[in-house]
Amino acid sequence: MAAVAPLLATQALSKHFGGLAAVREVSLQIQSGEIRAIIGPNGAGKTTLVGMICGRHVPSSGRILYRGSDITALRPWQRLRLGIAYTFQVTSIFKGLSCYENVALPAQRGLMQGFFARLAPGEPAVAARVRAALEAVGLADLAGQRADELAYGHQRLLELAMALATGPQLLILDEPTQGLAEGEITAFCALIRRVAEQATVLLIEHNMQVVLALARRVTVMDAGEILAEGTPAEIERHPAVQKAYLGR
């Protein structure tokens, strides 16, 4: 039986900022339906790597393949249309708009795909998608509240709702539990499991309890390179990971 092609693959992907090599020839494969975590110490190159995957950074060398097609030269909005959604390490929302308004724009974009790309979706369709996204993250009761009036943890959830409203096939989350209370983290984990039933999830996360609870495979980065890769149990036992990341 032929091997299943990965949803996402990077081939010897590198990024240099001046004389600094932030990412060095990283090659990884992520299968459709997977929950993959990328971990590593600060400065390991995790955010730069996913920044190249979503189009925020242009690689210095290497390639990015999505569903077998080379997307290395595509702009972020073109990747979004392909189903790649990304949430930032630093919250990126429209603070002067309501929660509903923040989610409505990406919801509209998500509905304007394929044959309907040139047609503006009707208000009921947009409203239904906005409600579904806000309900998914637990913010339905705050739809009319201004984003800058939300607690920081709720702002993080709002950004996640914005990503979900695009209908992603690949959802990339950079430090998604940062600023969340313990109860919110539990709800977040339950949400990601539901999301993974329909989309592939790639997350950067420092909270090892979240990583162990969610990830099917873990990629460990250090000094811009992949140090190890495996199941959560394998990563916990890996001597080099214990030394570089877990501090043992």
pLDDT in tens, 183-212: 889 988 999 999 999 999 999 998 989 999
Q: What percent of the chain has pLDDT over 70?
A: 90
Name the residue with higher pLDDT: 39 or 116: 39
Arithmetic mean of pLDDT, 113-128: 61
- State the pTM of this model: 0.87
Residue 170 has pLDDT above 80, yes or no: yes
β pairing state of 217-222 and 20-30: unpaired
In the prediction, which pLDDT does 182 show?
87
- In which band, very low, low, confident or very high, does the pLDDT at 246 lie, cut at 50, 70 and 90? low
Percent of the residues in the chain that have a pLDDT greater than 90, as a whole number: 61
Single out the residue of 210, 216, 208, 214 nearest to residue 242, CA to CA: 208
Closest CA to 202 of 101, 4, 51: 51
| Res 180: pLDDT | 83
How much is the average pLDDT of 28-45? 94
What pLDDT, on the 0 to 100 scale, is given for residue 241? Answer: 81
- Cα distances (Å, whole numbers) of residue 238 to 39, 73, 92, 174: 13, 36, 35, 24
pLDDT at position 115 is 43
The reply to whether CATH 3.30.530.20 applies to domain 1-83+168-248 is: no
- For the stretch 54-81, pLDDT in tens is 999 999 999 999 999 999 999 998 999 8
Write the Ramachandran bin of 40: left for phi over 0, alpha for psi from -120 to 50, otherwise beta: left
Q: Within a 10 A sphere around the Cβ of 196, how many other Cβ atoms?
A: 16
CATH 3.40.50.300 domain extents, the chain: 1-83+168-248
Please, what is the average pLDDT of the chain? 88
Q: How confident is the model at residue 236 (pLDDT cuts 50, 70, 90)?
A: confident
Q: Is the pLDDT of residue 2 over 60?
A: no
